[in-house]
Amino acid sequence: MGHRPKFLLLAALLGLLTLGPAIAQAHEIAPQRGVASFYSDRFQGATTASGDTFDQQALTAAHPSLPFGTRVLVTRRDTGQEVEVTINDRGPFVAGRIIDLSKRAARELGMLRRGTAPVMITQVD
């Protein structure tokens, strides 16, 4: 009986090692298409839903449901411009919009003048 707890622990660890890749794959997101917008300057310094302090110069974004810390590649569909951002907030809360970008990220996509842009979001490994 003394060896049984060690055996169970070893079996549990092996199970985690075997299931680890499957669990990681379950969190991958399918590419999403929609419209991106960017934060107003009035949110500079505000606390995000993740508890971070919002910084317009950071490469961050808000998404309605992706886990905080998820890195995504945002590709502007009409120009091909790309930027990688980290999700640290919730939003946008406007129909048809799928991501709200920091001003720096929006600048890298060349969308500051327009305010919005058609984008595709893909998860970064």
CATH class for the region spanning 29-123: mainly beta
Q: pLDDT tens across 91-112, in order?
A: 999 999 999 999 999 999 999 9
Which residue blocks in the chain are alpha helix, DSSP H? 4-26, 103-108
**pTM of the predicted model, to two decimals?**
0.77
d(CA 106, CA 83): 8
CB atoms within 10 A of CB 117: 21
pLDDT cut 90: percent of the chain above it: 75
- Average pLDDT over the chain, rounded to an integer: 85
Using alpha carbons, select from 118, 48, 34 the residue that is nearest to residue 58: 48
* Cis amide leading into 67 (omega within 30): no
CB atoms within 10 A of CB 63: 22
pLDDT, one tens digit for every residue, the chain (125 residues): 555 544 444 444 444 444 444 333 446 789 999 999 999 999 999 999 999 999 999 999 999 999 999 999 999 999 999 999 999 999 999 999 999 999 999 999 999 999 999 999 999 98
- What are the residue boundaries of the structural domains of the chain, listed by start? 29-123
